[in-house]
């Protein structure tokens, strides 16, 4: 190869390194900044729809805004917060109802889900079909199903009491009575989500290693002991994650309660969500509703944080 030939090659090569069109230089620019360009849309959306409104909310909670007010809102500092914590008894009722609902529903889901998962942890005909069918409560539109349930549970004309009487269970007022409304709603929440808990725990059970079980059986442990000392500890990560996700979810439930009881009768089922809604769009006391929202956010943060920390400490087994 002669020298001139080599020079030609080199110059071809050099020109190859330079962008040979505007499209290329645009592509180069994108490539060099790809990290930013790719994450920018998501960051923008979250800033505009999450960070900014949240900041506004916190600001509003320190003012006395109402949705129908004409005059400019005044800064009132912690007055709203003080009112919530000390003067408003409904707030505390609401607060505890929310916790009651969340804890009851979560524990119920976990227990029922665990029982179902253990029961179904075997091969049987129609397994796939069954597991799909059992998902229906989870998939169906909550508002629609709540409508159906409220029809079924109608104390005078509802069919639920009729069908239950056929198998010997006495009638109940379900969501119409202040004493039974919360257990009813919690029961519905369990009905709604136990299948998901079951699916997760079943996947967990299926993925457990066989050795600890075989070792336990060789050691002569009874079924019950195996369950408590091998199965449960091995399932801990799944249980904890379910616990976290379900409690957060249960704290936020709105559709069911709104449609079925609307927070009644007599505010007996008015969880924080409903209270906030009523305050903001019923009483139009926007500032106070903001306060309650912020408190609710803090509540959720605290609960998830403590579950996280608890899980970290329990992690080593």
> Measured between alpha carbons, how far is 215 from 226 in angstroms, rounded to an integer?
10
User: Minimal distance in Å, beta carbon 211 to other proteins?
Assistant: 20
Of 47, 78, 82, 148, which lies in the binding site for other proteins, with binding defined by CB under 8 A? 148
CB of 78 to other proteins, least distance (A): 19
Structure tokens at 141: 């539109």
Distance, in Å, from the CA atom of 94 to the CA atom of 107, rounded to the nearest integer, reads 20
Q: Which of 84, 114, 182, 294 binds other proteins (CB under 8 A)?
A: 294
How distant is the alpha carbon of residue 222 from its chain centre? Answer: 37
Q: Which residues neighbour 76 within 8 Å (Cβ) at sequence distance 6 or greater?
A: 62, 63, 64, 287
- Of the candidates 63, 261, 116, the one whose C-alpha atom is nearest the C-alpha of residue 180 is 261
Give the CA count within 13 Å in the CB-facing half-sphere of 261.
29
Compute the distance between CA of residue 272 and CA of residue 179 in angstroms, rounded to an integer.
19
By CB under 8 A, what part of segment 60-79 binds other proteins? 60, 67
CB of 237 to other proteins, least distance (A): 8
- Selected from 82, 169, 203, 215, the binder of other proteins by CB under 8 A is 203
What gap in Å lies between CA 31 and CA 33, rounded to an integer?
5
Q: By C-beta, is 216 or 293 nearer to other proteins?
A: 293
- Minimum Å gap between C-beta 229 and other proteins is 22
> Quick one: which segment of 83-91, 211-219, 233-241, 309-317 binds other proteins (CB under 8 A)?
233-241
Q: Which of 92, 96, 130, 227 binds other proteins (CB under 8 A)?
A: 130
Q: Does 131 contact other proteins by CB under 8 A?
A: yes
Binding segment for other proteins among 2-10, 71-79, 87-95, 219-227 (CB under 8 A)? 2-10
CB 205, CB 118: distance < 8 Å = yes
Asked whether 108 and 186 are in contact (CB, 8 A), the reply is: yes
Nearer to other proteins, 6 or 179 (CB): 6
128: helix, strand or coil: helix
- For the bound state, the minimum distance from the C-beta of residue 172 to other proteins, rounded and expressed in Å, comes to 15
Please identify, among the stretches 72-80, 169-177, 283-291, 309-317, the one whose residues bind other proteins according to the rule CB under 8 A.
283-291
Judged by CB under 8 A, which of 25, 28, 78, 266 binds other proteins? 28
Q: Which of 208, 230, 248, 284 binds other proteins (CB under 8 A)?
A: 248
Question: Which of 182, 251, 257, 268 contacts other proteins by CB under 8 A?
Answer: 251
Encoded tokens for 290: 């903001």
Nearest to 202 by CA among 310, 312, 112: 112
């Amino acid at each position: 190869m002669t020298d001139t030939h080599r020079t030609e090659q080199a110059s071809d090569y050099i020109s190859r390194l330079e962008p040979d069109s505007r499209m290329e230089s645009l592509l180069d620019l994108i490539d060099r900044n790809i990290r930013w360009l790719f994450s920018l849309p998501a960051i923008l959306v979250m800033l505009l729809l999450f960070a900014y409104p949240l900041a506004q909310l916190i600001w509003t909670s320190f003012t006395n805004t109402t949705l129908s007010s004409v005059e400019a809102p005044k800064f009132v500092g912690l007055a709203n917060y003080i009112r919530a914590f000390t003067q408003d008894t409904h707030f505390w009722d609401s607060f505890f109802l929310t916790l009651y609902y969340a804890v009851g529903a979560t524990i119920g889901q976990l227990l029922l889900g665990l029982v179902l998962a253990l029961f179904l942890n075997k091969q049987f005909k129609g397994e796939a079909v069954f597991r799909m069918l059992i998902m229906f409560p989870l998939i169906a539109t909550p508002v629609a199903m709540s409508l159906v349930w409220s029809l079924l549970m109608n104390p005078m004309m509802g069919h639920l009491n009729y069908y239950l009487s056929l198998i010997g269970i006495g009638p109940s007022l379900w969501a119409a009575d202040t004493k039974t409304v919360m257990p009813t709603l919690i029961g519905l929440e369990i009905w709604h989500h136990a299948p998901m808990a079951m699916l997760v725990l079943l996947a967990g059970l299926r993925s457990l290693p066989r050795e600890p079980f075989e070792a336990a059986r060789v050691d002569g442990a009874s079924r019950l002991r195996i369950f408590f000392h091998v199965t449960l500890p091995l399932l801990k990560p799944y249980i904890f994650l379910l616990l976290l996700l379900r409690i957060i979810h249960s704290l936020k439930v709105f559709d069911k309660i709104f449609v079925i009881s609307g927070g009644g009768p007599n505010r007996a089922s008015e969880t924080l969500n409903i209270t906030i809604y009523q305050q903001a769009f019923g009483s139009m006391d926007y500032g106070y509703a903001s306060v309650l929202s912020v408190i609710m956010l803090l509540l959720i943060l605290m609960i998830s944080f403590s579950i996280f920390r608890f899980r970290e400490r329990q992690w080593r087994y």
